[in-house]
Structure 1
Amino acid sequence: MNELTTYTPIGREPDEHAIRQQFTAAKGWENQYRLIIQLGKLLPALPTEWQQEEFRLKGCESQAWLKGEQSEDGRWHFACDSDARIVRGLIVIVLAALNHRSTEAIQAFDVDGYFAELGLEKHLSPSRGNGLRAIVQGIVALATA
């Protein structure tokens, strides 16, 4: 069994449907921003041995790391962390959509539509938006390598 197959970074992870519902219920950007911070608190720190240059995400202004492995059933399992609170919340949002899925499901998922529905791109600073895209690109790169 792979390391990440049994590593469940959030315990009972929300899926993209739960994230959509939470964003709909959190009316207005201030409440949604607070939600992102709260989601980030669900994400435990990565083990120290995974917080190294080999796993560092490029394109994030903050420090961020991503580790991914494919299990025997073809699903990808990801662990990700950052030193920034808002990025940690964004990681949870991305993992809700892409973690524990097949390569095909990761490639087929409409990430841009998901982010647009949540209103992330229009409210995030350009550097945070770049970091958000870097997380997704890192996952896609691992899953399609």
Structure 2
Amino acid sequence: MHINYIKLYFCLTFTGISIFATMESYYLYRAHVLAKEAKAIANQAERDAKAAAVRAKLKLEESQRQLRKRQAEQAAKQQAINNAQRTNNEICDFWRSEYQKLQSDRNKSMMDGACARAAKRPSTGTTEVNLRGDWLDKKSN
């Protein structure tokens, strides 16, 4: 049996090159798959970050809306207290002038009652205003 070494050399070289090319192709394919997975993960992370930013913005807007609502309620409450106090002051002034015009017991008692109500200042915790001077706090009811 005669061995042709040139054919053997080319055959082994060709086999080595084939194996090398196959392995390189496999590694390139794996790199491509990993790159696609990494891109998908990055896209998902970006979507999650955007969703979190939108949720945070909505939460901030909701808290700002609630703050404005509380401020408006507090302003309306303070306005009602101021209006009631002004009314009590006007009633006191009216009965004071009536008493100065005609000094009767009725005018004196009306003046004293109205001026006592006007002198009584509501606390900031007041939740109800009564023009008769009874400042009620719902917590104490």
Same fold (TM over 0.5): no
Q: Which has the larger radius of gyration?
A: 2
Higher relative contact order (CA 8 A, sep 6+): 1
TM-score, normalization by structure 1: 0.22
TM-score, normalization by structure 2: 0.22
Higher relative strand content: 1
